[in-house]
Amino acid sequence: MGEENPLPRRQVVLHDPRLSDPDEELVRRSHLSDAELNQVMRVLDAMRRWRETERVASEASQRYMKLGETDMRALRFLIAAQRQGVVATPSQIAAHLRVSTASTTKLLDRLAEGGHIRRMPHPIDRRSFAIEVTDETRIAARASVGRSHARRFDAIASLTAGEREAVARFFDSLIAAEDAPEGQERAAPS
């Protein structure tokens, strides 16, 4: 038998700057009270738990439909296009997915081989194809991804107008923070 570890087991915390950045080299927080800092940590923890929940749900949908993440994104785009009466083309799919036309061709070949899409002559542009999702795939996507989206919609709809506005501003702020140029310092809190 091996030696027992004399150190007690402790949970590793990944996102608490009090532990990961004690000298405030990256995360300035000395202007926050303990209560405010605890609220920030509660939001960060909720975000972490949501990302994990979303990842697990996404993986379950992918397994259910036997497809990868990019395939699922392509199908969601195609289903939305069909519902909106838009003729979807391979170039539109490539632009939506931000992948090359060669990658899109391989993706469409895979989806067609799996019975998920149909390629048809474009109704106006004879140089292109129109891509549609098969009824079977649309029904399967609705049963997995569609139901999940409906539950998220209901959760958001249950908030007050002010709460929805605060959540939207929060996400806009996160996006702006990610879009900030590398190395750009945040303005010091007032």
Query: Within 13 Å and on the Cβ side, how many CA atoms surround 123?
Result: 6
pLDDT given for residue 7 in this prediction: 72
Q: Which amino acid is at 79?
A: I
User: Do the Cβ atoms of 104 and 97 come closer than 8 Å?
Assistant: yes
pLDDT given for residue 190 in this prediction: 42
Tokens of 44: 């960060």
- The H or E element containing residue 180 is none
Instruction: Read off the pLDDT of each residue in 16-23 and give the average, rounded to a whole number.
Output: 86
φ, ψ (nearest 5 deg) of residue 158: -75, -10
pLDDT given for residue 122 in this prediction: 93
d(CA 26, CA 138): 46
Tell me: pLDDT of 189 over 60.
no
Say if strands 117-121 and 129-133 run parallel, antiparallel, or are unpaired: antiparallel
Tokens of 138: 């649309």
pLDDT digits (tens, 9 = 90+) for 55-113: 888 787 777 777 888 998 999 999 999 999 999 999 999 999 999 999 999 999 999 99
pLDDT digits (tens, 9 = 90+) for 36-52: 999 998 998 999 888 89
pLDDT digits (tens, 9 = 90+) for 112-171: 999 999 999 999 998 889 999 999 999 988 887 788 888 999 999 999 999 999 999 999
Three-state secondary structure of the chain: CCCCCCCCCCCCCCCCHHHHCCCCCCCCCCCCCHHHHHHHHHHHHHHHHHHHHHHHHHHHHHHHHCCCHHHHHHHHHHHHHHHCCCCECHHHHHHHHCCCHHHHHHHHHHHHHCCCEEEEECCCCCCCEEEEECHHHHHHHHHHHHHHHHHHHHHHHCCCHHHHHHHHHHHHHHHHHHHCCCCCCCCCCC
pTM of the full structure = 0.67
Q: Which amino acid is at 2?
A: G
